[in-house]
């Protein structure tokens, strides 16, 4: 078998920003479910997208200013 191209292995790029550092993330009043105010979700009572805190940030990300 001959190799046409020598392609070095690459590692996936880790995202620098996470949903937990965004100003649009908020926690549900009665439990620890997190939602995004900017994205619309399906099948949620609030109409906002359900997210996980460690998800990679979306293009609507805005960093929390401490």
5-63 pLDDT, tens per residue? Answer: 888 889 988 888 999 999 999 998 888 889 999 999 888 877 899 999 999 999 999 99
Handedness of CA 53, 28, 58, 42 (dihedral sign): positive
Please, is 14 exposed, middle or buried when counting C-beta atoms within 10 Å of its C-beta (0-12, 13-18, 19+)? exposed
Q: What is the model's pLDDT at position 39?
A: 92
Which residues, at least 6 apart from 63, have a Cβ–Cβ distance to it below 8 Å? 17, 21, 22, 23
Instruction: Please report the pLDDT score of residue 59 as a whole number.
Output: 92
**Tokens read off for 20:** 């937990």
At 25 the pLDDT is 94
The pLDDT value recorded for residue 56 is 94
Structure confidence at residue 28 (pLDDT): 86
Position 30 scores a pLDDT of 86
Judge contact between 34 and 44, C-beta under 8 A: no
């Amino acid at each position: 078998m001959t190799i046409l191209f020598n392609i070095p292995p690459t590692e996936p790029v880790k995202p620098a920003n996470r949903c937990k550092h965004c100003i649009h993330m908020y926690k549900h009043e009665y439990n620890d479910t997190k939602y995004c105010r900017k994205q619309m979700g399906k099948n949620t009572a609030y109409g906002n997208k359900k997210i996980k805190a460690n998800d990679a940030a979306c293009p609507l990300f805005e960093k929390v200013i401490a």
